[in-house]
Amino acid sequence: MSEMPQVLVAGNPNAGKTTLFNQLAGTRARTGNYPGVTVDRRTARVTLGQGEGAREVELIDVPGTYSLTASSPEEAIAVDAILGTITPEEASTKAVVVVADATSLARGLYLTLQVLECGFPTVLGLNMMDEARELGLAIDSAGLSEALGVPVVEMVARRREGMEALSDAILAVLDDDPPPPPALAWGPAVERAVERVAEAYADVPDPRRREAWARWALMSEIDGDDLELRPEVRAACRAARTESAEDLDVQLVAARYAEVDELVRRHVEGEGPRTARGDSLDRWLTHPVAGMLAFALVMLMVFEALFSWSEPLIGWVEEGIVFSQDFLRASMPAGLFTDLLVEGVVAGVGNVLVFVPQIALLFFLLGFLEDCGYLARVAFVIDRLMKGVGLHGKAFVPLLGGFACAVPAVMATRTLSDRKDRLVTMLALPLMSCSARLPVYVLVVATVFVHQGDVLGFLSVGAVALLAMYGLSLGATLGAAAILRRTVLKGPRPTLVLELPPYRWPLVRNLVASTWARVRTFLIDAGTVILALTIVLWALLTFPKDPAVTERFDAERAEVTASLAGEERTEALTAIDGAEASAQLERSAAGRLGKAIEPAIAPLGMDWRLGIGVIGAFAAREVFVSTLGIVFGVGDEVDEESETLREELRAAKWPDGRSLMTPLAGVALMVFFVFACQCMSTIAVVRRESGSWKWPILMVVYMTVLAYVAALAVFQVGSAMGWGV
């Protein structure tokens, strides 16, 4: 055998394709990526059959699709995988397994016919036969097999029933000639058009595959598509369409469905469900009152998971990092290399790992909701609101996730099938006030709003300011989505055409596999960028070091050690350490940068010290607090509750003696943080999910401009009116 044969596992979404793949692949599944797009490519080398006839094949999980027309990135991949490349030489033997849901066979058969048109050895797997039998459907699979000319295997993938029969069927067809093309009554108009477009595919040697490509092109070519079609194919499609008096789209689809209906009429007995299974459940879950309540509860749970359940896990990660840092510090000689390792590399690994709990929890829950069928209902229930800002109903969960952390939320946009829907959502949601902004707000509020009165007698001014920031971020997110949709991501009116699958109990094995796949791609693709950026940022905050400063503080230390003892000495030494760190930071690249940008940020009420804080916060927004800790000489181990840091901030003055942190300056600073894209991890993950640097750059630019203008407006208008100065 020269090449390992490829076996593609294709099927409609919700037909159990992934379950089948996981059952056959077991632990051998590998997750990679299709080049250029963010669609998982799952493959596994497995041995099919037993004894002498056993063969090793490469199993490929093709993204779920209803048809071989490219209307989403997933479907485009499916088309590529099944139709193959246009190059004459086929890489290796190839067979296709189509997984169909036996309880709604019609759509599965539609895809099956399309696959058969392409002319590869094919096996049809009728999944969920147990449910079909319960519903009183009798499927004559032998008759169906004869009519289609391919093996038809009855199975229950989640219970491993029919797996052996399927393996045997695959082995049996692997070296066979392709099954006969389905005898479809295309009609003269379609035949003429296909012939014409097929001429543009003259280099495809197999006439059958040539026609398959032509039919695909006729159904996929459309004004403003982003397909890489050859110009002659595009021209032929347009010409064929203008010349034809008939409606080619309807005729193409209707010819297949006529055959589908005929197959169902002949080989399926029983009427099937007149109403959807789970319809009584849906009556509650989509009820105006009960449904909204259930929706709120489920979303609250998702939110809780991201916000609270993840907290102890994140705590462990952070403790583990601190432990390794302390260990390295203790066991290695002090010096630059140790600093690089501890403050750069280990901290960077920590910056990556710290996202894992939220990503894992979000994708486990999202997978659960998707597999049980509720995610489609989420979209159904909330679509009306999302539509108003040009978003898809399914964008709700990623947006909600944005309140916790933009990184898992951006990754969750993959549940959206349309590329533009996906981009609008991921570019707008970093404006949601994530949990990393909270320490910044808390520090500022506690610093500037201490002795203010209450609003309406029970809310403190600080609480009102905090609420206002959340309201502002929500409004900004929705506004940004609406504007992005009308400008850079303008396109055909967004739509919602979504199957509402029957409710089914998810398989934990599938959830674990998909969660792990997500975490893994995050660690590899976004993680490396985050690690690199952490090291760069560390270098900016560390170099250049001024030997004169070190000398001066070493002298002070020697003096203290000589003259003081006990607790007094320790205290004095800590103070010297803080002052030295502050002085070194001031002379570092970041410190110089902070001073250099002061003229630009002074109109926002920020001096160079806050500027350094903003630069440091690029690692993650909460780092603003510890960076300020260093700048103000109280050490980097402070948090937003630190009274010392608050005191220092309150005492801070501009050179002319004005207070730095006035209430107005505090509000301007918070407004800046609401809008600014102060998060390298978000940038890394948007780069990963959008597939290019273009989109994260656009995001950083628009968010930074917005942040600057908004903070400027707040500070300048406020100053002019004399508010909170």
Partner 1 sequence: MTVLGDLDPGQRARVQHVRCEPRVRRRLLEMGLLPGTEIEVIRRAPMGDPIEVRLRGYSLSLRHAEAAGVEVSPRSESVRAGRPSTASPLPAE
Please report, as ranges, the residues that interact with partner 1 according to CB under 8 A: 66-67, 69, 71, 103-107, 110, 219, 222-223, 247, 249-250, 253-254, 257-258, 261-262, 264-265, 268, 271-276, 279, 282-283, 286-288, 291-292, 376, 379-381, 383-385, 387, 393, 492-493, 495-501
579 phi/psi in degrees, rounded to 5: -65, -35
Minimum CB separation from partner 1 for residue 574, in Å?
59
Instruction: Identify the CA nearest to 363 among candidates 413, 403, 317.
Output: 413
Minimum CB separation from partner 1 for residue 247, in Å?
8
Cβ distance to partner 1 smaller for residue 352 or 386: 386
Token pair of 671 as six digits: 């407004």
Instruction: Identify the CA nearest to 685 among candidates 480, 436, 405, 456.
Output: 405
Cβ distance to partner 1 smaller for residue 379 or 601: 379
Cβ distance to partner 1 smaller for residue 241 or 650: 241
Instruction: Identify the CA nearest to 495 among candidates 416, 429, 410.
Output: 416
Token pair of 227 as six digits: 């397909």
Minimum CB separation from partner 1 for residue 679, in Å?
33
Minimum CB separation from partner 1 for residue 92, in Å?
30
Minimum CB separation from partner 1 for residue 698, in Å?
25
Cβ distance to partner 1 smaller for residue 52 or 271: 271
Cβ distance to partner 1 smaller for residue 132 or 533: 132
Cβ distance to partner 1 smaller for residue 346 or 369: 369
User: Exposure of 438 by Cβ count < 10 A (0-12 exposed, 13-18 middle, 19+ buried)?
Assistant: middle
**Taking a C-beta distance cutoff of 8 angstroms, is the pair 128, 16 a contact?**
yes
Minimum CB separation from partner 1 for residue 141, in Å?
17
Cβ distance to partner 1 smaller for residue 243 or 499: 499
Cβ distance to partner 1 smaller for residue 293 or 697: 293
Q: Do β-strands 94-101 and 6-11 pair in parallel, antiparallel, or remain unpaired?
A: parallel
Q: From CA 255, how far away is CA 182, in angstroms rounded? A: 11
Strand locations in 157-241 (E): none
Minimum CB separation from partner 1 for residue 384, in Å?
4
* Beta-bridge mates of residue 45: 58
Cβ distance to partner 1 smaller for residue 253 or 539: 253
Number of residues that this document lists for the chain: 725
Minimum CB separation from partner 1 for residue 389, in Å?
14
Minimum CB separation from partner 1 for residue 238, in Å?
12
**Taking a C-beta distance cutoff of 8 angstroms, is the pair 15, 64 a contact?**
yes
Cβ distance to partner 1 smaller for residue 296 or 709: 296
Minimum CB separation from partner 1 for residue 314, in Å?
35
Token pair of 663 as six digits: 């209430």
Minimum CB separation from partner 1 for residue 693, in Å?
28
Q: Could you tell me how far CA 302 lies from the centroid of its own chain?
A: 16
Q: From CA 136, how far away is CA 412, in angstroms rounded? A: 38
Q: From CA 576, how far away is CA 580, in angstroms rounded? A: 6
Q: From CA 641, how far away is CA 500, in angstroms rounded? A: 48
Minimum CB separation from partner 1 for residue 282, in Å?
8
Instruction: Identify the CA nearest to 178 among candidates 99, 115, 91, 109.
Output: 115
Q: DSSP letters of 292-306?
A: HHHHHHHHHHHHHII
Q: How far is CA 428 from CA 140, 444, 481, in A?
A: 51, 25, 5
Cβ distance to partner 1 smaller for residue 53 or 270: 270
**Taking a C-beta distance cutoff of 8 angstroms, is the pair 708, 604 a contact?**
yes
Q: From CA 407, how far away is CA 107, in angstroms rounded? A: 36
Q: From CA 256, how far away is CA 273, in angstroms rounded? A: 23
Q: Could you tell me how far CA 671 lies from the centroid of its own chain?
A: 26
Q: 632 by DSSP, 3-state: which?
A: coil
Instruction: Identify the CA nearest to 419 among candidates 14, 37, 34.
Output: 37
Cβ distance to partner 1 smaller for residue 55 or 387: 387
